[in-house]
A and B are shown apart, each in its own frame.
Chain A
């Protein structure tokens, strides 16, 4: 096993060299030059760690073998992630990616985003995605021609913000979660409910902590930034791409990394109610309700145990406080200016609903103006 592990480590080191050579000795767009250096340095760091295992004087000792195998696995995963995300984004960086880099940079400046703008990978076949570890955002190919999906870009940006400012955003909400589920489990005993409820709470608590919480926070911060436009985009996504089973996963299949669409809708509304209650939120609620009625779906038994409104409300209070403490600008704070991305997205959704027939022309016109602005600010 030692000989084999050693061979694997040598091969991994060679793969690092290949990746590094792919990046070095080329000309890059100024947007990504610094980023390329960061990635090259990261690869060099990994090579150093591989070398350290290979030259460990105790390499091969039976006592250390399991830990050295784990170390190899961890290093191999890191190399693979670099190969999957930063390298393709860098090597395929083109005019569309540049357009999104400038657009995102400007939009983030308007929202007081406190981190460097991410590197866009503008050839996504998986809608929007994000890799916070490498500060990369995946953007679908046709996005430079439309506005309606762009609120989801802010959702992905929120994931990056969360990776750096988790504590600032939610304070000790995880402790509140632990307390909540502990009390629920105690209630199961006290009320002599079926013991499987305890197992359900165990599973749901885990999902909240490892997955759902991140998704709710990303939804809430995106709503804080772009307002009702994010709610309308969520409804459209549910009606077009996602399943119409908005109450899934429920208690019987609570294992998915995404929480139910219905609970995410409530997370969005919770932020809207706390920032600008009124006509817009009511209209969104009416449309959502209409959609739910149309599908005929109803919440399964014990659905509320998975997605208690109490937790969603408490989280939305924390997130709003967190956003304010971080100095982020909410959608209601933007003044009239030449171009303001959050305002534009809300106007786009208003236009679509008010004048659907003329919307394509209106959008085309706005995209032209947006591109001019991006070009102008990109040159500045």
Chain B
């Protein structure tokens, strides 16, 4: 049996997450930096992107906190995040994990409060999450390439 079945599950989970994050990044950056096309964004669309960004960021925060024993596992959000994405973030922030968790938590709150304005740090964090999910997807895709 080839690895393809296993890799496909991982690829799909990672690619879906990366795509969702990337769409949110494009929409929210367009809004935040006042880029062309901003006027075409309806309030409901913006609220939806904020909501999605909040749900993903919260799922990642939950995974990080659970592996550190800072959150009860019973409170795990429904949303699945590949463990390798969480690992990458944990590795990258090994030296400043407490600070990063704090930042991520504030970003979740910020995205959740759809009426309030966003901070540049929220956008930067979202960009980092999107970049990390993209890297993860690319790595699994490379493994699948051998089978293609």
Q: Mark A residues whose CB is within 8 Å of B.
A: 56-58, 61, 63-64, 66-68, 70-71, 73-74, 77, 80-81, 84-85, 126-133, 138, 152, 155-156, 159, 162-163, 172, 174-175, 178-179, 181-182, 185-186, 202, 205-206, 208-211, 214-215, 218, 237, 257-258
Q: Which residues of B contact A237 (CB under 8 A)?
A: 1
Q: Is B69 an interface residue (CB 8 A)?
A: yes
Q: Which residues of B contact A138 (CB under 8 A)?
A: 2, 4
Would you call A132 and B12 a contact (CB within 8 A)? Answer: yes
- Knowing that A77-B137, A202-B87 touch, tell me 16 more A-B residue pairs with CB under 8 angstroms: A56-B26, A57-B37, A58-B37, A61-B35, A66-B127, A67-B26, A70-B134, A74-B134, A126-B4, A127-B2, A174-B80, A178-B76, A182-B67, A214-B5, A214-B6, A258-B3
Q: Can you spell out 12 A-B residue pairs with CB atoms less than 8 angstroms apart?
A: A63-B35, A67-B127, A74-B22, A74-B134, A81-B144, A127-B1, A129-B5, A132-B9, A178-B63, A178-B66, A178-B67, A257-B7
Query: How distant is the Cα of A71 from the Cα of B21 in the complex, in angstroms?
Result: 11
Q: Is B143 an interface residue (CB 8 A)?
A: yes
Interface residues of A, dominant DSSP: helix
Would you call B29 and A64 a contact (CB within 8 A)? Answer: yes
Q: Which residues of A contact B69 (CB under 8 A)?
A: 182, 185-186
Would you call B9 and A159 a contact (CB within 8 A)? Answer: yes
Q: Which residues of B contact A56 (CB under 8 A)?
A: 26, 37
Q: Which residues of A contact B82 (CB under 8 A)?
A: 209-210
Q: Which residues of A contact B113 (CB under 8 A)?
A: none
Chain B CB within 10 A, most for which of A63, A70, A257:
A70
Q: Which residues of B contact A74 (CB under 8 A)?
A: 15, 18-19, 22, 134, 137
Would you call B9 and A214 a contact (CB within 8 A)? Answer: yes
Q: Mark B residues whose CB is within 8 Å of A.
A: 1-12, 15, 18-19, 22, 25-26, 29-30, 33, 35-37, 63, 66-67, 69, 73-74, 76, 80, 82-84, 87, 90, 127, 130-131, 134, 137-138, 141, 143-144, 147-148
Would you call B147 and A215 a contact (CB within 8 A)? Answer: no
Q: Which residues of A contact B26 (CB under 8 A)?
A: 56, 64, 67-68, 71
Chain A residue at smallest Cβ distance from B4: A129
Query: How distant is the Cα of A175 from the Cα of B77 in the complex, in angstroms?
Result: 10
Question: In whole Å, how far is A274's beta carbon from the nearest beta carbon of chain B?
Answer: 23
Chain A residue at smallest Cβ distance from B14: A210
From B2, B8, B87, A126 is in contact (CB under 8 Å) with: B2
Query: How distant is the Cα of A126 from the Cα of B30 in the complex, in angstroms?
Result: 46
Query: How distant is the Cα of A152 from the Cα of B1 in the complex, in angstroms?
Result: 8
Would you call A130 and B4 a contact (CB within 8 A)? Answer: yes
Would you call A175 and B76 a contact (CB within 8 A)? Answer: yes
From B1, B5, B127, B137, A132 is in contact (CB under 8 Å) with: B5
Query: How distant is the Cα of A174 from the Cα of B132 in the complex, in angstroms?
Result: 22
Chain A CB within 10 A, most for which of B1, B6, B29, B74:
B1
Would you call B36 and A58 a contact (CB within 8 A)? Answer: yes
Chain A residue at smallest Cβ distance from B7: A257
Q: Which residues of A contact B144 (CB under 8 A)?
A: 81
Query: How distant is the Cα of A27 from the Cα of B3 in the complex, in angstroms?
Result: 33
